[in-house]
Amino acid sequence: MTYARVKGTGSYLPERVMTNAELEQLVDTSDRWIRERTGICERRIVADDQSCRDLAMIAASRALDAAGLQPGDIDLIILGTCTPDRVFPSTACLVQAGLGVNPGAVAFDVSAACSGFIYALDVANRFITTGGARRALVIGSETMSRIIDWTDRGTCVLFGDGAGALVLEADDETGILSTHLHADGGCEDLLNVPWGVSQGYDALSGSAGKLKMRGNEVFKVAVRTLGRIVDETLEANGLAKSDVDWLIPHQANIRIIQATAKKLGLPMEQVVQTVAEHGNTSAASIPLAFDVAVRDGRIRRGELLLLEAFGGGFTWGSALIRY
C-alpha cells in the first residue's frame, strides 16, 4: 500500500502587521469587539509589489528545505487560492517556473475558497496513492487584502494574507489516512466575491466587486457542518475522538474553532490556533497553522492530525493524517 506522507512543511507571512487599533481608524469597530467576537488581534498584509505567487514560492521553498528536497525532485504542484496572480497561467505554473521545478511536472490551481488547501491535499493524495506522482508540493496562498472592502466592518476585520505549503512523498509508511470533500453551491448569496472575467469588468471598481458575507448565517452553517465532518472522518477510519492528537482547523473565528474542539472533546491545548495573529487567510490558514506547530515542536512524528475547513461555495472538507 502506498501512502502520501508529509515530508516537510513551510510557510510565509508578509512583513506588514495590521492591528485591530489600525482598523478602528478605518471603520466603526473596536479592538474589544474584534477580539471577543473573532479572537483576532492582528493580521498580515501583502506589500504592494507582492503577489500570491511570491508568498507561495517562499512557503514552498521552506517546505522543500524542511523535506531535504530540491525543486527538481517535485513532479506535482497543486495550489489552492481564490486570489491568483492571473486568469492564466495558474499560480501553480508560475510557482513551477519561479522555483525551477521540472518542466513536464503537473501543475494546477484549485478554487475552493477557504477549503482550497484541503481540496488540493485530497487531489494530491489521490495522485500519489495511485502512482500518478511521487513527490508533490501542496500549497495554500492568498492575498485576501486585495478582495476586501475596507469600508465594510463586517468583513474587513476578519481576513489576512499569507501562504503555507506541504511536501508529500509516496511512502510505504502510513501518512494521509483519508480525505473527505463536500460542496453545496446553493448558498452562494451568503458568501461570495460577485465578479468574474466572464461577467465583464464593470463591477471591478469600488466596493461592488469585493468579498461579501452574511457572517452570522455563515457562522451557524460552519459550526453545524464542521461538527458533521469530524464524525464522518473518524467513522471512516474506525477511530475514536480520543485518538486525535491535534486538531488543525481552518482559522476563521475562534468561536467556530472552539465549537469543533468541543464536539471532539478535545482541550484547546490540542488545537493549533493561529487566528489571533494571522486572521482568516482562507486557503493558506491550515498549512500555515500546520507549519507553525511543527516548527515550534508541538506536532511530533507519529501523531494523529485532523485537518478541517469550511468556506465559500459552500465548500468543506477534512483530512486525517498520521504525521
Residues 100-139 that bind ligand UT7 (CB under 6 A): 114
Q: Residue type at 167?
A: V
Residues 6 or more apart in contact with residue 125 via CB below 8 angstroms: 4, 168, 176, 179, 319
**Closest distance between ligand UT7 and the C-beta of residue 271, in Å?**
16
Q: How far apart are the first and last CA of the chain?
A: 17
Rounded to the nearest angstrom, the gap between the alpha carbon of residue 68 and the centroid of all alpha carbons in its chain is: 23
Chain residue whose CB lies nearest ligand UT7: 215
Nearer to ligand UT7, 33 or 108 (CB): 33
How many other C-beta atoms can be found within 10 angstroms of the C-beta atom of residue 250? 32
Closest CA to 214 of 239, 187, 179: 187
Nearer to ligand UT7, 25 or 216 (CB): 216
Nearer to ligand UT7, 256 or 305 (CB): 256
Does residue 252 bind ligand UT7 (CB under 6 A)? yes
Does residue 253 bind ligand UT7 (CB under 6 A)? yes
Of 218, 226, 288, 306, the one binding ligand UT7 by CB under 6 A: 218
Q: Give dist(CA 274, CA 126) in Å, integer.
A: 28
Catalytic-residue membership of 278: no
Of 39, 160, 311, 317, the one binding ligand UT7 by CB under 6 A: 311
Q: Give dist(CA 81, CA 57) in Å, integer.
A: 13
Q: Which residue has the cell 510557482?
A: 95
Q: Residue type at 291?
A: D
Beta-ladder partners of 139: 79, 165
Peptide bond just before 89 cis, omega within 30 deg: yes
Stretch of residues binding ligand UT7 (CB under 6 A), selected from 12-20, 82-90, 173-181, 210-218: 210-218
Catalytic-residue membership of 114: yes
Residues 44-103 that bind ligand UT7 (CB under 6 A): none
Does residue 154 bind ligand UT7 (CB under 6 A)? yes
Catalytic-residue membership of 20: no
Does residue 289 bind ligand UT7 (CB under 6 A)? no
Does residue 145 bind ligand UT7 (CB under 6 A)? no
Q: Give dist(CA 59, CA 76) in Å, integer.
A: 16
**Closest distance between ligand UT7 and the C-beta of residue 241, in Å?**
22
Of 73, 215, 227, 245, the one binding ligand UT7 by CB under 6 A: 215
Q: Which of 93, 114, 125, 253 is catalytic?
A: 114
Q: Give dist(CA 62, CA 139) in Å, integer.
A: 12
123 membership: H or E segment, kind and range = helix 116-129
* DSSP secondary structure, 42-86, as one string: EEEE--TT--HHHHHHHHHHHHHHHHT--GGG--EEEEE-SS-S-
Q: Which residue has the cell 516548527?
A: 295
**Closest distance between ligand UT7 and the C-beta of residue 261, in Å?**
15
Stretch of residues binding ligand UT7 (CB under 6 A), selected from 165-173, 174-182, 251-259, 267-275: 251-259
Does residue 38 bind ligand UT7 (CB under 6 A)? yes
Q: Give dist(CA 99, CA 105) in Å, integer.
A: 12
Point out the residues that are catalytic.
Answer: 114, 250, 280
Site of interaction with ligand UT7 (CB under 6 A):
29, 33-34, 37-38, 114, 153-154, 157, 215-216, 218-219, 222, 252-253, 256, 280, 310-311
